[in-house]
Chains A and B, each alone.
Chain A
Amino acid sequence: MQTITLVSFGQFPKDILEKTAEAVVEEYQCHVNMKDGHLDMGEFFDAARRQYDGNALLKQVQSMSFPESDKCLGVFNVDLFIPILTFIFGQAFLGGNTAIASIYRLSNERYGMLPDERVLADRLKKEAIHELGHTFGLIHCRDPLCVMRSSTYVEDIDQKGQHLCASCRSILEI
Chain B
Amino acid sequence: MAKKISILIVDDEESVRDSLFNWFIEDGFRVECAENARRALTMLESDQFDIILADVKMPGMDGLEMLRRIKDIKSDSIVIVMTAFATVDTAVKALKDGAYDYVTKPFDPDDLTHLIRNATKQISLAEENETLKQKVISLENVEDLIGKSAAMKNVLRQIESVAQTNSSVIITGESGTGKELVARAIHANSPRKFFPFVSVHCGALTESLLESELFGHEKGAFTGAMYNRKGRFEMADSGTIFLDEIATISTKMQIELLRVLETKTFMRVGGNKEITSDFRVICATNKDLKNMVEKGTFREDLFYRLNVVNIEIPPLRERKEDIPLLVNYFINKYCMSMNKPPATIDIAALNRIQEFNFPGNIRELENMVERAIVIGNGKRITLKDLPEEKTFVSNSIESLDEFEKAFILQILNKYDWNISRTARALKVDRVTLYNKIKKYDLKLADQ
Interface string of B102-134 (1 = CB under 8 A from A): 000111111011000000000000000000000
* Chain A residues whose C-beta falls within 8 Å of the C-beta of B109 in the assembled complex: 85-88, 152
* Chain B residues whose C-beta falls within 8 Å of the C-beta of A88 in the assembled complex: 109
Q: A69 within 8 Å of B by Cβ?
A: no
Contact A55 B27 (CB under 8 A): no
B20 nearest CB across to chain A (Å): 5
Which of B13, B18, B23, B27 contacts A85 (CB under 8 A)?
B23
Q: Looking at A82, A83, A94, which has the most chain B CB atoms within 10 Å of its CB?
A: A83
Contact A83 B28 (CB under 8 A): no
Contact A140 B19 (CB under 8 A): no
* Chain B residues whose C-beta falls within 8 Å of the C-beta of A152 in the assembled complex: 108-110, 113
* Chain B residues whose C-beta falls within 8 Å of the C-beta of A85 in the assembled complex: 19, 23, 106-109, 112
Q: A71 within 8 Å of B by Cβ?
A: no
* Chain B residues whose C-beta falls within 8 Å of the C-beta of A92 in the assembled complex: 26
A55 and B19 in contact, given A94-B25, A139-B27, A140-B26 (Cβ under 8 angstroms): yes
Q: B263 within 8 Å of A by Cβ?
A: no
The residue of chain B having its C-beta at the shortest distance from the C-beta of A56 within the complex is: B15
Q: B16 within 8 Å of A by Cβ?
A: yes
Contact B110 A84 (CB under 8 A): no
Contact B106 A140 (CB under 8 A): no
The residue of chain B having its C-beta at the shortest distance from the C-beta of A141 within the complex is: B28
Q: A134 within 8 Å of B by Cβ?
A: yes
Q: Give the complex CA separation of A55 and B19 in angstroms.
A: 7
The residue of chain A having its C-beta at the shortest distance from the C-beta of B110 within the complex is: A152
Q: Give the complex CA separation of A88 and B106 in angstroms.
A: 12
Q: Give the complex CA separation of A140 and B29 in angstroms.
A: 10
Q: B291 within 8 Å of A by Cβ?
A: no
Interface string of A43-60 (1 = CB under 8 A from B): 000000100000100000
Q: B46 within 8 Å of A by Cβ?
A: no
Q: Give the complex CA separation of A139 and B16 in angstroms.
A: 20
Contact A84 B26 (CB under 8 A): no
The residue of chain A having its C-beta at the shortest distance from the C-beta of B11 within the complex is: A84
The residue of chain B having its C-beta at the shortest distance from the C-beta of A91 within the complex is: B22
Contact B13 A86 (CB under 8 A): no
Q: Looking at A93, A134, A152, A153, which has the most chain B CB atoms within 10 Å of its CB?
A: A152
A55 and B18 in contact, given A139-B26, A139-B28 (Cβ under 8 angstroms): yes
Interface size on B, residues (CB 8 A): 21
B23 nearest CB across to chain A (Å): 7
Contact A86 B108 (CB under 8 A): yes
A84 and B113 in contact, given A55-B15, A140-B28 (Cβ under 8 angstroms): no
Q: Looking at B22, B105, B108, B110, which has the most chain A CB atoms within 10 Å of its CB?
A: B22
B49 nearest CB across to chain A (Å): 18
* Chain A residues whose C-beta falls within 8 Å of the C-beta of B13 in the assembled complex: 83
Contact A86 B22 (CB under 8 A): no
Q: Looking at A49, A82, A84, A134, which has the most chain B CB atoms within 10 Å of its CB?
A: A84
B112 nearest CB across to chain A (Å): 7
* Chain A residues whose C-beta falls within 8 Å of the C-beta of B16 in the assembled complex: 83-84
Please report which residues of chain B, range 117-173, place their CB below 8 angstroms from some CB of chain A when the two chains form the complex: none
A63 nearest CB across to chain B (Å): 16
* Chain B residues whose C-beta falls within 8 Å of the C-beta of A77 in the assembled complex: none
The residue of chain B having its C-beta at the shortest distance from the C-beta of A58 within the complex is: B22
Please report which residues of chain B, range 371-406, place their CB below 8 angstroms from some CB of chain A when the two chains form the complex: none
Q: Give the complex CA separation of A83 and B110 in angstroms.
A: 15
Interface string of B16-41 (1 = CB under 8 A from A): 10111011011110000000000000
Q: A28 within 8 Å of B by Cβ?
A: no
Q: Give the complex CA separation of A88 and B16 in angstroms.
A: 14
Q: Give the complex CA separation of A55 and B15 in angstroms.
A: 8
A167 nearest CB across to chain B (Å): 13
Contact B107 A84 (CB under 8 A): yes
Interface string of A85-101 (1 = CB under 8 A from B): 11110011110000000
Interface string of A131-160 (1 = CB under 8 A from B): 000100001100000000010110000000
* Chain B residues whose C-beta falls within 8 Å of the C-beta of A134 in the assembled complex: 26
Q: Give the complex CA separation of A87 and B13 in angstroms.
A: 18
Additional 18 contacts, C-beta under 8 A, given A86-B106, A140-B27? A49-B106, A55-B18, A55-B19, A82-B15, A82-B23, A84-B16, A84-B112, A85-B19, A85-B23, A86-B109, A92-B26, A94-B25, A139-B25, A139-B26, A139-B28, A150-B27, A152-B110, A153-B110
Q: Give me 5 A-to-B residue pairs in the complex whose CB atoms sit less than 8 angstroms apart, sorted by A's number.
A: A49-B106, A55-B19, A85-B19, A85-B108, A152-B113
